[in-house]
Structure 1
Amino acid sequence: MSREEKIARTFVHLADSLVDDYDVIDLLQHLTLSCRDLLDATDVAVLLAYPGPDLYSPVPCDPSPALAAVLDPAARQGPAVDACRTAAAVAPGPLATAPAAWRDFTEAARRTGYTHAAAVPVRLRRDTLGSLLLLSTGDGPLPPADLRLAQAFADATALGLLNARPAGRPHTISEQLHDALHSRIVIEQAKGFLAERDSLSADDAFAALRDHARRHGVPLTEVARTVVTTGRLRPPTATGN
């Protein structure tokens, strides 16, 4: 499949959030995986805003040890926080010359091998829901065309999330994202169970959960709860697993 075809498929998948019963976790997971596949970025994470001073990452992306070490400081300072605060892309260049205000984030990122960091806001007009953090171990920064594509993906995601908010209920999106944070726990548990039982990698275990959810039209979190409570991808009354 060509890069252009992959880009088109990503926009089609993000558009699925405009229909009823889309899954927030699956949407955000697809966003990060697509960016990692299509952009010149080593690791990608979504960090979302919720009432409080820090961002948080709700996506069970099975981060590499390097990304896992960066997510906590990235929620408090750095390009993801600045992109969310300003509703504009942040691409400052090499981490070696990053702003002093990013000290904790920069130290963690450079210690784990990242050389460049950028972020784009997940926003639509006045609503900023968070940001998309893009990390690289390469010699150069993210190309401008990749940064623009990342922003387009982030905008499409925000459009879907905000479109799903019923009129007159301004806090619904915050509630959805808060629920997504808690959903991460059960998805991680189910993913770990399948990985151990079937000798799968974490990515393959997540793919099994996601593919089952899509095939049967069931929310990803519901599939994960079934695995955690029954040890099966399907309820005990169904055949197979």
Structure 2
Amino acid sequence: MSREQHIARTFVELADTLVEDFDVIGFLQQMTVRCQELLDVTDAAVFLSHSGHRLYSPAPCDPSPALERVLESACAEGPAVDAHRTARAVDTARAVEAHGPDDGASRWPQFTAHLRRAGYSLATALPMRLRQETIGSLLLLRSADRPLDAEDLALAQALADAATIGLLHARTIRQQDTVNEQLHTALQSRIIIEQAKGLLAARRDINLNEAFEIMRRHARRHRLLLSNVARDVIDTGSTLRSSAVLPRPSPADAD
């Protein structure tokens, strides 16, 4: 699959929210996976505001303790909060260029400390917005020293915009309280899904992204919630052998 085909498939996936069994946690997990695949980033996470208050991250892309601490601190300060508040892109590289090497540490002391301890060099946050409404932000973490190039930055914003439209459409079709309840429940479901990803990856000797794809495809094929499939993996030791592993893109496909 070429990169252009991969991008096209991703935008189709982000538009697939107007279904009866729309699952917020699976949708956001899939978005972070696609960001890792399509962009020059190490990790990605989505942050959403609940009833206009503090941000939270319902679907981090990796369960490692170091990343968890970064995301926890990012809910209170850092680029993700500023991007949500200002509806503009914010990154640590621009802060350093504008105000000097200690600016990130002085503006966002907890976030910057956790970011460095986790081995990340740069963080970029993009608003999740539609016209005058901003519902959260997309945080991209990089281990490399150079910032995202203009092409990746534009694609990341387009992905964030498409996800925002999908979530707002889902909220419009359903009662707002129902979607908000799903977002709140996602905080608990996320832990179960991450545990199941790790178990399935170990049992089948595959990486975490492949394990997530298998669970997601199984859930869609059998019209199940992703969280229920994850519980089955944990409780029964299932390996979901009936679900095929998606082929990894070759280096030639990425060109």
Regarding TM over 0.5, the answer is yes
**Equivalence for 1:79:** 79
Taking the aligned partners of 1:209 and 1:218, their CA distance within structure 2 comes to 10
**Equivalence for 1:150:** 156
Please tell me the residue identity of whatever aligns with 2:181. E
| Residue 222 of structure 1, CA deviation | 2.1
**Equivalence for 2:119:** 113
What TM-score do the two structures reach when normalised by structure 1?
0.85
What's the secondary structure of 1:106's corresponding residue?
Answer: helix
**Equivalence for 2:130:** 124
1:62-94 deviation per Cα after TM superposition (whole angstroms, max 9, x unaligned): 245543341121111100011111222213416
What TM-score do the two structures reach when normalised by structure 2?
0.81
What's the secondary structure of 1:41's corresponding residue?
Answer: coil
Change in CA separation of 1:97 and 1:41 when aligned onto 2, cut-off 3 Å: farther
1:175-208 deviation per Cα after TM superposition (whole angstroms, max 9, x unaligned): 2211211211222343344345445544443332
1:191 aligns with 2:197: yes
1:34 aligns with 2:34: yes
Please tell me the residue identity of whatever aligns with 1:149. L
Change in CA separation of 1:179 and 1:65 when aligned onto 2, cut-off 3 Å: closer
| Contact 1:162–1:173 (Cα < 8 Å) also in 2 | no
**Equivalence for 1:226:** 232
Please tell me the residue identity of whatever aligns with 1:15. A
**Equivalence for 1:212:** 218
Aligned residues: 237
Return 5+ residue gaps in structure 2 as ranges.
Answer: 244-255
Change in CA separation of 1:164 and 1:156 when aligned onto 2, cut-off 3 Å: same
| Contact 1:84–1:121 (Cα < 8 Å) also in 2 | yes
- Identical columns (%): 54
**Equivalence for 1:58:** 58
**Equivalence for 1:16:** 16
| Contact 1:35–1:44 (Cα < 8 Å) also in 2 | yes
**Equivalence for 1:176:** 182
The Cα RMSD (Å) is 2.7
**Equivalence for 1:137:** 143
Taking the aligned partners of 1:111 and 1:233, their CA distance within structure 2 comes to 35
What's the secondary structure of 1:119's corresponding residue?
Answer: strand
| Contact 1:166–1:172 (Cα < 8 Å) also in 2 | no
| Residue 129 of structure 1, CA deviation | 2.1
Please tell me the residue identity of whatever aligns with 1:61. C
| Residue 37 of structure 1, CA deviation | 1.4
| Residue 51 of structure 1, CA deviation | 4.4
| Contact 2:46–2:60 (Cα < 8 Å) also in 1 | no
Taking the aligned partners of 1:197 and 1:7, their CA distance within structure 2 comes to 30
**Equivalence for 2:5:** 5
Return 5+ residue gaps in structure 1 as ranges.
Answer: none
| Contact 1:190–1:224 (Cα < 8 Å) also in 2 | yes
Change in CA separation of 1:11 and 1:103 when aligned onto 2, cut-off 3 Å: same
Taking the aligned partners of 2:56 and 2:219, their CA distance within structure 1 comes to 25
Please tell me the residue identity of whatever aligns with 1:74. A
| Contact 1:47–1:58 (Cα < 8 Å) also in 2 | yes
1:133-180 deviation per Cα after TM superposition (whole angstroms, max 9, x unaligned): 011122211112212211111111111111112468343432221121
